[in-house]
Structure 1
């Protein structure tokens, strides 16, 4: 399948979206903020101590040894100690995890937008689609796992700038075109991998529900997400600009090994080598965390 390009430096009338790697992380980042996990502190063992009371002893009377008759025997009073109380071990209280109430899938967009604003900049928030973010993400990831690009279901808006080429001795992609994906790649660095995966785990039921809506077993979505990540990780990163050839009003890669890549992988190439390296590094971390 040939990749569509615009002739010269003009913008295409209907350029394809390039959200290949970004959407995988976007699906997790936009999944509503995590409620604070408050662990109940364990109670320290306390031992009940009892004071021992010893009555005062009476003074021993003096004995006159000069008397012929022996003095009366002095008996010291018996001391009775109070019984020692049994040590009481306080009952151990297990920490209680706070219950998280997820919004209905059809009403999750408002909460998602509010949540994202706590983690991302206003510019990043504007990159999200206006409706059905989770449903869009699930469909998009399902297609990515098959090497396809579901343009109409992207969970983020497309770049404002268009794709352009440099038409000289050879035709190559204009490096300035890579910059239009910088805001999307920046989303990867906003949160740590642990935070990203924790968000995904907490709101996984909504993703699984959306996955069931399109005819799959809900719990299979995690495997589909891993397949989508693998599809992108398998995309080679070019060392130099790739030459293009003109095909009517479109362009395709001049070398067969690049042109035969899947549509999703060819879209990933449009990010440019530096952006691809950053995205791949984060995707590898997420894949490891998801499969622990």
Structure 2
């Protein structure tokens, strides 16, 4: 066989055929990419599985040609076919390698998350009760009055700072048992009467200082609002809280049983130095020495924390 010349450039019809093949591959690529939403597994064999069909060698009519001319024409046809096939394969590879750029990513939808509405003072009881329940046992939670919890606390603290007791605004329920005294030659408080306040003292002592401060800080805006409702500047409440703590810490802890004097249906302290204490301090004495020490210990650490 004689040596043939280099293959000629593809004709316009061959380039058109290659372009059509490339467009077909683009359509297939887009279809496969769209199916990825339903089938997230990537087909790693996709590129290997793409087969470009071999172009058929066109049949030439060699009748009337000399053998050398017929052979040369056949070789040219094969070379042209190979050239067309190579061009189609290159176009296919280019299409496959660049297929991620054919599909524009869908824009991520922006989800507007509305900020939670600020808690209102009138609707705060559930939030306060739920937060307290995170720190305390159920029996301790039951000690609290369940309505107007923040307002009650604010009024009670304001009165405590002044040495008075806001009986109508107690933030906790009253003990179920009544006060008891042992009446003999000397009237004294029945030691069993101190036990009425043990659940309250234990509840307060078991709360960590950090937990108390977090509760106070979380609801401070509502506390300020409640304090303004009773006619004060809201930002003054921190100072009032410190004064209330100091009022209780200034209450002396008795080392012995204190004698009482019965006055009609009530009792008062026989010694003037105890009777002249403020109403809230005398109420504090009714908790008994052990409970007073528990509460004072927690008040001291709380006072330091609030002062920082």
Calculate the TM-score normalised by the size of structure 1: 0.64
Q: How does 1:1-292 map to 2 (within 5 A)?
A: 102-292=118-308
Kindly tell me: are residues 172 and 146 of structure 1, through their superposed partners in 2, closer, same or farther at Cα, counting changes over 3 Å? same
**1:189 CA drift (Å):** 2.9
- The number of residue pairs the alignment matches comes to 194
Q: Distance in 2 between matches of 1:121 and 1:113?
A: 12
Kept in 1: contact 2:181–2:188 (CA 8 A): yes
In structure 2, distance between residues paired with 1:194 and 1:102: 24
Moved over 6 A (4+): none
Q: Take 1:102 and 1:268, find their aligned partners in 2: how far apart are those partners? A: 37
1:114 Cα shift?
A: 1.9
CA-to-aligned-CA distance 1:6-50 (integer Å, 9 cap, x gap): xxxxxxxxxxxxxxxxxxxxxxxxxxxxxxxxxxxxxxxxxxxxx
Q: Which has the larger radius of gyration?
A: 2
Residue 168 of structure 1 deviates from its aligned partner by 1.4
Q: Tell me the secondary structure at the aligned position of residue 119 of structure 2.
A: coil
Superposed CA offset, 1:141-178 (max 9, x none) = 00000000000001110000110000112100000010
Look up the match of 2:49: none
| Structure 1 residue 119 displacement after superposition | 1.5
* Partner SS, residue 158 of structure 1: coil
How many Å separate the matches in 1 of 2:118 and 2:246?
A: 29
SS at match of 1:147: coil
Give RMSD over aligned pairs: 1.4
Q: What is the DSSP-based 3-state SS (H/G/I as helix, E as strand, rest coil) of the residue aligned with 2:267?
A: strand
In structure 2, the CA distance between the partners of 1:252 and 1:279, relative to structure 1 (3 Å rule), is same
Conservation of the 8 A alpha-carbon contact between 1:119 and 1:190 = no
The question of whether the paired residues in 1 share the 8 Å contact of 2:202 and 2:294 is answered with: no
Name structure 1 gaps, 5 residues minimum: 1-98
Higher percent of residues as helix: 2
How far the C-alpha of 1:102 sits from its partner, in A, is 4.7
CA distances 1:219-246 after superposition (whole Å, capped 9, x unpaired)? 1000000000000101000000100112
Change (3 A) 1:226 1:102: farther
Structure 2 gap segments, 5+ residues each: 1-114
